[in-house]
Amino acid sequence: MISGFSNFSDDFFVNFDLHTSLPLPQGRETVLHFCETVQKQFPEMTDFHQRESGEYVLEGDRGSGSYRWLGLEQRRLSAGAFNPSDIANAYDQHEWVLDRSRYFLGVSHLDVESLDLVYGFNLDCVGNRDEIIHEALLSGSRLASFLNEADAVALNFEPAFVIALNDDCSLQARLAIETRNSTYQVRTGNYDEEPISIYFTIRAHPHPGRQFDLVNSLTEQARVGEDIVVRVVIPNIIRPIASAIAAAQ
């Protein structure tokens, strides 16, 4: 495994999302006990709150620029490391949380719907971020012919693709781009300082006839994910977008 991907973007993060078939415990005592145990392992995670959606969140100081977080919803357990010093530290966090989820939340291999490992890259950009995506990834393609219409302006260029990585489709990869443009910004030319986000996800479903092991699956997903990020995502997606941003400044 390489040390990290932080040199290729302004911000980098690696998250996991565990989706379950049955609701996860939401009782006060269970949630607090679980979060207290997480905090003992990662003392910098000091901020605990519940969002309006009902999600419980334990996280570090977002203002520091590098922090860990944990989220618990009815049927999803999530955790992330934003700008980790080393990607191995993020994996260690995720493996630790997944392993303890069996004891504190009663997660069973029978209950797993899917496990996502998400690599995220933010590229800061002020301007028409959809136009940047058009220029970097779609220019000259048949899809880009929409912009040949008179007075056409790029408004929503957020491609997303999903591929199966094995015959039974139990391992999948998804690439999605988020530009955060709005009609108002495009119409007025007043663009917020928002990043272009590239999300690359390796999703694992329980394999027919096999017991799903969360930690072993995460390890394999990381191996596959890093390989594709290095060979495909960075040279063919991230670097062209970064070059288009630099050229537009």
Mind listing the pLDDT tens digit for each residue in 27-37? 999 999 999 99
Q: Which residues, in sequence order, are bridge partners of residue 195? A: 124
> pLDDT over 70 for what percent of the chain?
98
> pLDDT over 90 for what percent of the chain?
84
Specify the pLDDT at position 148: 80
Q: Which residues, in sequence order, are bridge partners of residue 171? A: 204
Domain count, the chain: 1
Band (pLDDT 50/70/90 cuts) for residue 219 is: very high
- HSE-up of residue 56 (Cα within 13 Å, Cβ side): 20
Specify the pLDDT at position 152: 83
Specify the pLDDT at position 105: 97
Residue 21 has pLDDT above 60, yes or no: yes
Band (pLDDT 50/70/90 cuts) for residue 1 is: very low
Average pLDDT of the residues in 39-62? 97
Is residue 82 within 8 Å of 71, Cβ to Cβ?
Answer: no
The more confidently predicted of residues 50 and 140 is 50
Of the candidates 22, 6, 18, 70, which has an alpha carbon nearest to the alpha carbon of residue 218? 18
The more confidently predicted of residues 249 and 227 is 227
Average pLDDT of the residues in 230-242? 97
1 within a domain of the structure (yes/no): no
125 within a domain of the structure (yes/no): yes
Average pLDDT of the residues in 41-51? 97
95 within a domain of the structure (yes/no): yes
Average pLDDT of the residues in 85-109? 95
Domain with 159 in it: 6-248
Mean pLDDT for the chain?
94
Planar angle of CA 63, 67, 72, nearest 5 degrees: 110
Residue 2 has pLDDT above 50, yes or no: no
Structure tokens at 11: 């911000």
The more confidently predicted of residues 198 and 144 is 198
Give the separation between CA 220 and CA 191, rounded to whole angstroms: 40
Average pLDDT of the residues in 12-38? 97
Average pLDDT of the residues in 44-72? 97
* Predicted TM-score (pTM) of this structure: 0.94
Residue written as tokens 């072993």?
A: 216
Average pLDDT of the residues in 104-111? 94
